Structure 1
Amino acid sequence: MAKYALIVIDIQNDYFPGGRWTLSGMDQAADNAARLLNAARESGDLVVHIRHEFPTADAPFFAPNSVGAQIHPKVQSLEGEPVVLKHDINAYRETELKSILDNACIEKVVICGAMSHMCVDAATRASYDFGYHCTVVHDACASRDLKFNGVHVPAAQAHAAFMAALQFGYATSVSTEEFLAS
């Protein structure tokens, strides 16, 4: 039987209302991630928390040692659950994430967190490239409004576009309800 790991990406204080880089729908995404986290813990599945910090204090968000860079209480890690500190978009880059998964003989990863269009996307694509079977729980992820070349992209559309791209070639995409029912 394939072993699973839940990877909870960057659900940190700065992404919530009042933080330095608020995401659209972050509270609901974190609530769904908390449900996934509880289910993984009850099943004895590996849970890996990813926490992003920029290297300097003048960062736009997730400044080193700041309250904003701390994991949000809704998905706080428990003793014994690995917390991977990253300084880049891709959770595998210059971190121990792959060795944690490989040491636990993980074959399948379930991914949730933030931001849909950045770190969730990067981790999913990298996971696929490393040979893991990937599932992204789309309603346990959040994004924000984007701008490109004078075009405003609402958060819901940015999120949907990235989830559609991941589902097309990198991952299965399901809702929290669908995942918990399976």
Structure 2
Amino acid sequence: MEKTALILVDIQNDYFPNGRMELHEPDKAAANARKLLDFYRSKNMPTFHIQHIFNDPNAPFFAPGTEGIIINETVAPLEGETVIQKNYPNSFRETTLLNQLQEVGTEHVVVCGMMSHMCIDATARAAVDNGFQCTVIEDACTSPDLSFRGRNIPATDVHDAFMAALGSLYATIETADSFLENATVK
């Protein structure tokens, strides 16, 4: 079995109720991410928490020094777990993620977090472009409603469209339960 690493992207307080950029059902996505995190912790497998902090103190969300940048308690890193800060949607851009994945011999990344249409999409594509196999855990990801051409696009449609796009060439798309069911079978 190839060496896998879990990448939890931007599961931060600003995306939850009372945050500056509340997403669709963030608690559900975080709970599914926690299932993955518990499994990776139990197997002592590499886990990377990604934390987005904008460089601009006036950013609409994830502004430096705010409560919103804190990784949500559902998946809060334990002492010794790797936290990588980023300033862009792509978790690899201008961070140490690639080097750290290579240092532990990673061949396959499992990606989950927020937002499906932005940081998950950018990170999953970059992972594949950097030579990794990639699985995205779709029910451990979420997005907000978006608008285009004066039309509201519900968060579930945004999410589903991006999972369909990633699943066509870039990643295997699974649920937390299906992934864990297969991961525990040797």
CA distance in 2, matches of 1:143, 1:4: 25
The secondary structure found in structure 1 opposite 2:152 is: strand
- Post-superposition Cα deviations, 1:108-152, rounded to whole Å, max 9, x if no partner, equal 000000000000000000000011000000000010100112121
Task: Give the counterpart letter for 2:29 in structure 1.
Answer: A
- Residue 25 of structure 2 aligns with which residue? 25
Matched, 1:126 2:126: yes
SS in 2 for 1:85: strand
Shift of 1:45: 0.9
Query: Which amino acid counterpart does residue 84 of structure 2 have in structure 1?
Result: V
Q: Equivalent residue for 1:167?
A: 167
Provide the residue aligned with 2:46 in structure 1. Answer: 46
5+ residue gaps, structure 1 = none
3-state SS, counterpart of residue 106 of structure 1: coil
**Residue 155 (structure 1) aligned with residue 155 (structure 2):** yes
Q: Is 2:14 the partner of 1:14?
A: yes
**TM-score (norm: length of structure 2):** 0.96
Q: CA RMSD in A?
A: 0.6
Q: Give the secondary structure class of the aligned counterpart of 1:29.
A: helix
CA-CA distance at 1:44 after TM superposition: 1.4
Q: Does 1:91 align with 2:91?
A: yes
Structure 2 distance, partners of 1:168, 1:108, is: 17
TM-score by length of 1: 0.99
Post-superposition CA distance 1:77-132 (Å, at most 9, x none): 11121101000111111000000100001000000000000000000000000110
Q: Distance in 2 between matches of 1:3 and 1:44?
A: 12
Question: How far 1:167 moved relative to its partner?
Answer: 0.4
**Percent of aligned pairs with the same amino acid:** 49
- Structure 2 stretches lacking a partner, 5+ long: none
Instruction: Give how far 1:31 is off.
Output: 0.4
AA in 2 matched with 1:97: L
Whole-Å separation in 2 of the counterparts to 1:14 and 1:41: 25
Displacement of 1:43 after TM fit?
1.1
